[in-house]
Structure 1
Amino acid sequence: MVADVVLEKEKDKPIEKVFGQPFSFGDAIDAVSDIYNGNNIIYDRLTQADFPLWYMGISGYEAFVMVTVSPALLAIRPLRLLVVKNLRLCHLLSLAGLLAYMVEDISYRMFIVGFGVWMSCLSWAATCYSEGGQPGRLESKISAWLVGLIASSAIKFAWHTSNPIWVIANSENGGHNGLGFILAVLAVLRSTRKSPVAGSQLQGHKEGSSILAGLGIAGVFFGMHSLLSDSSTIILWTWEGYPVKGPISAPHGALTIAAMAGGLVIGLFNDTLARSWTFFGLGSIGAALLTTTSNWTGYYGGLALSVYLMAVAVPLIGSAARKNPAVTFGFGFLVYNFMVLFHVWVVAYAFVPGGPLVRERTDWIMIATMLLIGCGVFTSFSSTPVAQRKRVNAYLNSRKQRAYYIYVLGAIQLFSVAIAYLRFPTNDYVPYHKDDKILTAGIWTIHFSLDNEGYSSEYRMRDLIKEMEIDVIGLLETDNQRIIMGNRDPTQFLAEDLGMYVDYGPGPNKHTWGAALLSKFPIVNSTHHLLPSPVGELAPTIEATLDVYGEMIDVFVFHSGQEEDPEDRRLQTEYMSKLMGATPRPAILLSYLVTKPLEGNYNGYVSAESGMHDIDPSDWDRWCEYILYKGLKRTGYARVSRSTITDTELQVGKFLVGEKEAATEKIRNARINEDQVPEGRRFPQLFRGEGVRGHRYHVFDEPRYYA
């Protein structure tokens, strides 16, 4: 009875016009198909630019970032009409990117994905333009695209920031590419079965400036893509280490997804608020907090920005669809592309032309993003009162279709909450050789978790780390939280699957290539350092204190500067030597030093000031990776070949906790045979000889053990 009374009073209000209609299974399928179809552009675009980064410099493949400007072709009227009349074919062609995973040659794979992105952008720009004269149908397309973004973030939340139908996925690393392609074809066939509006309605709509609308599209697309295409991105922007003082990727990624959904609802139900300058100001405050603060304060700012970006996207895309598509989407994507390069240049400044001019200027990126959005907001106000009234009337007559998108949003929220519950940290991790009080530590440069064939390598890394029985490992080149790397975080999968605590290290807004620490032992405290780098790339360091069998042990994970910058490396050597020398506790350095054994900067790391010892000073074949230690009894050292996982081997050391190191270097470095070593202190036999899956003990052809 109460419900009937409420519905009677609310029947003329927007909420009743949405939910007061009978349910239609066909309309619901249409909504789901539109959402899945809208998602494909996100899937393709997120994976199309990983390959150029492999070269760590200008390779020429960076040109593929420009494939998004295909809507500029809509300036040619015959071609525009051809595309609009053949939207189904164009959308089907865009699915080529989903099949690129089948191509073994990574260069050809790149071309196929680039073609898919080209067709996706062209198809969706033409779709929005063709529906520009019918506000109800246009809103459904905009809703589908934005709900698709939220669904993509939720799927990545469930798949530990990866996506099962990406081109970097396959059957061996958790991919479901074939199923994803079949569903995509069905979605396209369903969502494109309605013909576009008549050609007489496709002549453009002269409301406001197309240039300003294009700038708005650039800003809102870049903001959503760089910050909201993964639920953990803004969380990692605010991460500062242990003890935890802010959100963590799981379970709090569900809050990011909820904020995105809330913003979309505001955009759909309160267009006036979404495009208001007051709301723009609130979004700008959120952007400032995310950029300048950390922990919960920064995250709250990120949530506010998330709400704003999703809300303002509705009127900005709608405004762009009613103007010249070649300008609003073609020019808009061109500016967006420069923003994509901009947010890579701030960290890749050592490898790109003009890089030092924008070195570490993430604040400039955020300011530029909001100014671009402001241009779109400005021109969205310039619509004539008559046009506004027509659109309002059209919306009121077609709002019932919104219900199905709201239903899907609700389902996504339930899904993300369930995933948050399932991924909640257990914090009950057990080392491999607890009874022997052995700590097995490793260092590995994982090259952004892409293997030599261009596929995601987390599963292969997981298997080797587990089979080598590693308790503590430092991972370098781990920061994938940028558009060109797919906004991924390989440490989430590794930590949860292996049962380890994780410290992500300096976040994406700290302008490094990333460092991470995984540990079976509790991380009591951690501090993130950015070492002196006056010329070259920033050198990240994690300084962490672990509770190892009741004893506090410091672990340092460090990536030094490049060979081209000797002064940087000298200053970094001084910094690290003092940092390691300052701790009175036993310590381990897991590092990438770019030096030869016993030469140059090596003698700063291994010195009286640092107090550190080389795990095996007789190993003359190293250049990058080194394990150093002090205050611990080292019992073993091994080098394991990488197979095709990355470009750097895995180095591993074993330490006996509770016993002090030998008093003299001669005794400390005395080697013994394996048969003199207790079983619990030995390295796994699995990797002797030819090993397995391309992994074997190499250089020495066997592990080394010490008295």
Structure 2
Amino acid sequence: MASSKYKDKDAGVVVAFNGSWVSWLHTGAAYAAFLLALIVGMSLHYKKIVQNEHYGYPDEWFPSVSATIGDRYPERSVFMLFIAITSGPRFALVGLWYLLTAKPGRTLPKVVAGFGIFRTLTCGGWTYITSTDDHDWHDIFMISYLVATIPWTFGCLALSPPNPRAIKLRKYFAGAFFGTLVPLVYFFIQHKVHRVAGAYTIYAFFEWALVLLDVAFDAVSALDFDTFEVVIKDVKGASKGLSERCLYNTPSGYEQNAINEIMILKVCLSSANKSSVPTAVLEKEKERATGGVFSNGYSTSEALDIAADVYHGFVFWSVLTSLGLVVWYFPLWHMGISGYEALVMSTVSPFLLAIKPLRSLIVRNLRVAHLLSLAGVLAWLVKTPEYRLFTVGFGVSMGCLSWAATFYSESVHGPRLESRILAFTVGLLMSAIVKFAWQTNNPIWPIMHAENGGYNGIGFALAVLAALRFTRKAPLQADHAVEKKGGSSLLSAISIGGLLFGLHSLLSDTSTMILWVWDGYPIRGPVSNVHAWYTIVAMSIGVVSGVFAQGLVATWTTYGVACVGAALLTLYSQWLGYYGGLVLAAYLMAISVPLIANASRKSPAVTFGLGFFIYNFLVLFHVWVVAYAFVPGGPLVREHTDWIMITMMLSLGAGVSDLTSQNNSANKKARARRSTSNPHRKYHLGALGVLNIAFLSAAFLRFPTNDYKPYHGEDRVITAGIWTIHFSLDNDMWSSERRMRDLIKEMELDVVGLLESDLQRIIMGNRDTTQFLAEDLGMYVDYGPGPNKHTWGAALLSKFPIVNSTHHLLPSPVGELAPAIHATLDVYGSLVDVFVFHSGQEEDPEDRRLQSEYLAKLMGSSTRPSFLLSYLVTTPLEGNYNTYVSETSGMHDVDRSDWDRWCEYILFKGLRRVGYARVSRSTITDTELQVAKFVVPATQEDSAYAWGVDEGLRDRRVSEEEVPAGWRFPALFRGEGVRGHRYHVFDEPRYYNF
């Protein structure tokens, strides 16, 4: 291995070897660690390491990586021995890569080297701390390792020397690595959520593929390190001994210092390995291999610019999406038009740009305008709801005005305009990801504060810094002509309106389209907390396509494909509908780039002012289809989401028409010039990568791990409740999920029906309260009829598995639609039916009569033990009450003597009712929580007793001391209770003969 040429020149050389051996040693040790552990494990403990929590051999027949390396001796020890050996070459590999790529003035090599060291340390973390040792720290190190893999991989691609073969191999291995993540996640879901036999074995193969590809990516460095010679040289002759050194006439005193002498490592460029191909040719080869993305180098300052731009775009979307929420609070509490709805027109402020002096003033002072828009983030400090609404409205108006002016001012420079558009669209992507991480709330919304999970202060501080950096470059021109030849400002404005509505209504939350296609249990389609990444991937693909394939995106063919996607999303449920939604998501993000660029080159007052006005029209249309009973002209658009989708797509078609009409050769050449050498693109691609890995990290943390145990399983008790949650906004305009969670948990509810729970509209923030409640409380969830079913929502949360559920829209010829869920639960091994129902309003008596007949027949169709959690709008013992409680339904009232009810009722049959309570709402909502306790019959005799017991005997009340402790309600809410919650009306729970 030693090089003789060094021996001839310098007798102090101890050993010299080619740098590629560092890569080969790392590769060999890493593969040996995993593969030897696999061989030992399969030889000694085959059936034990293929066993998982659901299945074993022969259903599962190949072990996962974690089971192989972390569960048993001696394979765990074999793995740890060789992975320890791997660490030395690994650190050397990172060091050599830095020496190879470092150049004066370049920061990226240092950043990549830092991630390489961090990645090596975290690898040691998750390999030496297994999930059996400490599950949390194992996950922390694993996620950190995966996160660090993104900048390491793309950094290595960016810094690759001009070696086409090495670059090609890195692209193949990196593409295969990240591509493997998709089937990996899919089969893990099949195993963990759907419990499919054999799915974990397939998952294991993809997991092993990730390991092999990860090591192979770093192995490619051998092709680049071939230019290195690693030389270990004894500069003072210590390796030859004192006697030999004396022969060389060493200076006096040398022997006394011998023990302090050191050996140094020299890394030399080997001239023999230098390529004869000119550097310029190699650089062109590298540019062709990487698509030119990494050809211009990296700058920390530019990376910070893009990070600030994206965050500023995130802030805009955060403020815009909060406007509907704070507006909605007022008609919600006024039960009709309040007047505050006029604030939705805050967005039309770009009309002011029609005034030339004002336009020049705004463009020349964009920093001030953008900083003023941050009032929408600062609004959380305003406690009075009305003033908070006005503050948000001001922030929205300044945000829309400043962004429109920014697009207009940058329109004279293609790359800068494209960078601003990407900040706008990637900011939306970031908003959707942040909402996913906060379970569909945005932590900087004005309905959030520290008590309910808000991070408003930190968000505002970052927003100020981002706005300052976003505006640090002076506008290119303030007074250039606002009209260009060709194209139509009107068509462009129509397209901007449709585009903004599509982005906001469908893509501002990752669960919106999933809930459009949700149709109950058993699960036959996507699930919000598991499959939402597909939406993010589609949006990311759309962003990339909008930048690199504008010629394809802005065509009638692509538009036609998007129309098909919109039709599938509107008309179909389950996976088919969702696939259509993904196509539409990709298209909306892709078409954003050419449509906004086109609008920026025309009159901003028309394209953005009128565009936002059209957007507002669609927003109101979007609400009218479900709120038709409360708004003027509402019945004309009742239940016509299909009309909204058609209008949106026609609006986008207007923009496509405008784009294609300008498709002359001059414009093509201009677009070609604009599309090349845009240095910002690599940073935006990096931002997309970081955001996607951030989403995956959040998804990993949110992955369902609950055991779903009822509170009093040993007593066979079901504690069931009904609550109208008023769209998760409390009396003071704060998001109420956490307060609801606390009461549900402390009341020990096993099953709870939630009404007024559909928040998947612009006016309600595109939220889903049930995600937070289900995950935090450890409950299964059925969202009920989706947002495209035009109801105010009904949802079911259950500690017991939901075997089957169907959704019903009850007859409503005049008033609002009445949603119902009919679900079958597996309760202690017995099947029990539960119905969750929201009746129509008092103003529509015929609707309520028809609905009572429908629901009575539906409940009567079940021969199983059942209970109803409902909002009936009737007086006890009168009118429609006697349809719900009748021979047709077979249902009994939980307490016939409770005369003080109008809305909420609990009915039951085939169960032993043992308790009933009413709990005050505090300031969470406008309706109390009603709760009942039932005992599920353990035998047929018990069931016969529960069905046949005399009504009078059943209604006999007993004292709390007469019932077992497991059947009693929590004492926490007696007397004054806690946090404004207490037993009221009766001032205590009621217990009944059993």
TM-score > 0.5, shorter chain as reference: yes
Distance 1:203 1:679 in 2: 77
Distance 1:40 1:70 in 2: 18
8 Å CA contact retained: 2:825, 2:831: yes
Count of residues paired in the alignment = 706
Q: The residue matched to 2:291 in structure 1 has which SS?
A: helix
Distance 2:383 2:395 in 1: 17
Instruction: Give 2:586's aligned residue.
Output: 307
Instruction: Give 2:547's aligned residue.
Output: 268
In the alignment, structure 2 segments of 5+ residues that lack a partner are 1-162, 169-281
Task: Quote the offset at 1:171 in angstroms.
Answer: 0.5
8 Å CA contact retained: 1:252, 1:420: no
What value does the CA root-mean-square deviation take over the aligned residues? 1.3
**Which deviations, in whole Å up to 9, do the C-alpha atoms of 1:135-168 show, x marking residues without a partner?**
1100000000100000111111111000111011
Distance 1:532 1:212 in 2: 41
8 Å CA contact retained: 2:287, 2:294: no
**Which deviations, in whole Å up to 9, do the C-alpha atoms of 1:45-77 show, x marking residues without a partner?**
111122234134211111111110000110000
Distance 2:742 2:386 in 1: 28
1:689 corresponds to 2:975: yes
**Which deviations, in whole Å up to 9, do the C-alpha atoms of 1:414-455 show, x marking residues without a partner?**
111222222222352100001111100000000100000011
Distance 2:916 2:285 in 1: 73
The correspondence of residues 499-510 of structure 1 with structure 2, limited to 5 A, is 499-510=778-789
8 Å CA contact retained: 1:39, 1:152: yes
**Which deviations, in whole Å up to 9, do the C-alpha atoms of 1:570-596 show, x marking residues without a partner?**
000000000001100000000000001
Instruction: Give 1:628's aligned residue.
Output: 907
Among candidates 773, 777, 780, match of residue 498 of structure 1: 777
Normalised TM-score (structure 2): 0.70
Q: The residue matched to 2:523 in structure 1 has which SS?
A: coil
The correspondence of residues 28-107 of structure 1 with structure 2, limited to 5 A, is 28-50=303-325, 51-54=329-332, 55-107=334-386
Distance 2:315 2:698 in 1: 22
Instruction: Give 2:626's aligned residue.
Output: 347
Among candidates 482, 486, 506, match of residue 765 of structure 2: 486
Instruction: Give 2:506's aligned residue.
Output: 227
Instruction: Give 1:699's aligned residue.
Output: 985
Task: Quote the offset at 1:2 in angstroms.
Answer: 4.0
Q: The residue matched to 1:440 in structure 2 has which SS?
A: strand
2:470 partner letter: S
Among candidates 450, 468, 477, match of residue 198 of structure 1: 477
Among candidates 144, 154, 177, match of residue 423 of structure 2: 144
Quick check: which has more Rg, 1 or 2? 2
8 Å CA contact retained: 2:287, 2:293: no
Distance 2:303 2:482 in 1: 31
The correspondence of residues 244-255 of structure 1 with structure 2, limited to 5 A, is 244-255=523-534
1:598 partner letter: L
Identity of aligned residues (%): 64
Q: Which moved more, 1:93-102 or 1:196-205?
A: 196-205
Distance 1:14 1:191 in 2: 32
1:385 corresponds to 2:385: no
Task: Quote the offset at 1:114 in angstroms.
Answer: 0.4
Distance 1:5 1:37 in 2: 34
Normalised TM-score (structure 1): 0.98
Instruction: Give 1:669's aligned residue.
Output: 955
Distance 1:514 1:198 in 2: 50
Task: Quote the offset at 1:17 in angstroms.
Answer: 2.7
Distance 2:832 2:706 in 1: 19
Distance 1:223 1:56 in 2: 28
Distance 2:485 2:779 in 1: 58
Distance 2:288 2:854 in 1: 65
2:963 partner letter: V
1:505 partner letter: G
Q: CA, structure 1 residues 596+393, in 2 after alignment: closer, same or farther (shift >3 Å)?
A: same
Distance 1:619 1:100 in 2: 44
Task: Quote the offset at 1:705 in angstroms.
Answer: 0.2
Among candidates 149, 158, 177, match of residue 456 of structure 2: 177
The correspondence of residues 263-662 of structure 1 with structure 2, limited to 5 A, is 263-383=542-662, 384-397=664-677, 399-426=678-705, 428-658=707-937, 659-660=942-943, 661=946
**Which deviations, in whole Å up to 9, do the C-alpha atoms of 1:73-97 show, x marking residues without a partner?**
1000000000000000000000001
Task: Quote the offset at 1:535 in angstroms.
Answer: 0.2
Task: Quote the offset at 1:175 in angstroms.
Answer: 0.2
Task: Quote the offset at 1:181 in angstroms.
Answer: 0.3
2:673 partner letter: N
8 Å CA contact retained: 1:10, 1:16: no
Q: The residue matched to 2:714 in structure 1 has which SS?
A: coil
8 Å CA contact retained: 1:207, 1:323: no
Q: CA, structure 1 residues 112+403, in 2 after alignment: closer, same or farther (shift >3 Å)?
A: same
Among candidates 444, 461, 477, match of residue 165 of structure 1: 444
Distance 2:290 2:765 in 1: 37
8 Å CA contact retained: 2:167, 2:286: no
Q: Which moved more, 1:656-665 or 1:303-312?
A: 656-665
8 Å CA contact retained: 2:482, 2:601: no
Task: Quote the offset at 1:262 in angstroms.
Answer: 0.5
2:936 partner letter: V
8 Å CA contact retained: 1:14, 1:269: no
Instruction: Give 2:172's aligned residue.
Output: none
Instruction: Give 1:217's aligned residue.
Output: 496
8 Å CA contact retained: 1:555, 1:589: yes
1:131 partner letter: E
Task: Quote the offset at 1:200 in angstroms.
Answer: 4.7
Q: The residue matched to 1:473 in structure 2 has which SS?
A: strand
**Which deviations, in whole Å up to 9, do the C-alpha atoms of 1:328-380 show, x marking residues without a partner?**
00001101100000011000001111111111001111111000000011112
2:969 partner letter: F
8 Å CA contact retained: 1:636, 1:653: yes
Q: Which moved more, 1:587-596 or 1:14-23?
A: 14-23
8 Å CA contact retained: 1:504, 1:517: yes
Q: The residue matched to 2:840 in structure 1 has which SS?
A: coil
Task: Quote the offset at 1:19 in angstroms.
Answer: 2.1
2:901 partner letter: R
Q: The residue matched to 1:628 in structure 2 has which SS?
A: strand
Q: Which has the higher contact order (CA 8 A, sep 6+)?
A: 1
Q: Which moved more, 1:651-660 or 1:297-306?
A: 651-660
Instruction: Give 2:392's aligned residue.
Output: 113
Task: Quote the offset at 1:38 in angstroms.
Answer: 1.3
Among candidates 419, 430, 433, match of residue 154 of structure 1: 433
Distance 2:706 2:778 in 1: 8
8 Å CA contact retained: 1:586, 1:630: yes
Task: Quote the offset at 1:387 in angstroms.
Answer: 3.9
Distance 1:130 1:356 in 2: 43
Q: CA, structure 1 residues 172+427, in 2 after alignment: closer, same or farther (shift >3 Å)?
A: closer
1:670 partner letter: R
Task: Quote the offset at 1:4 in angstroms.
Answer: 5.6
8 Å CA contact retained: 1:206, 1:322: no
Distance 1:14 1:421 in 2: 33
Task: Quote the offset at 1:202 in angstroms.
Answer: 5.0
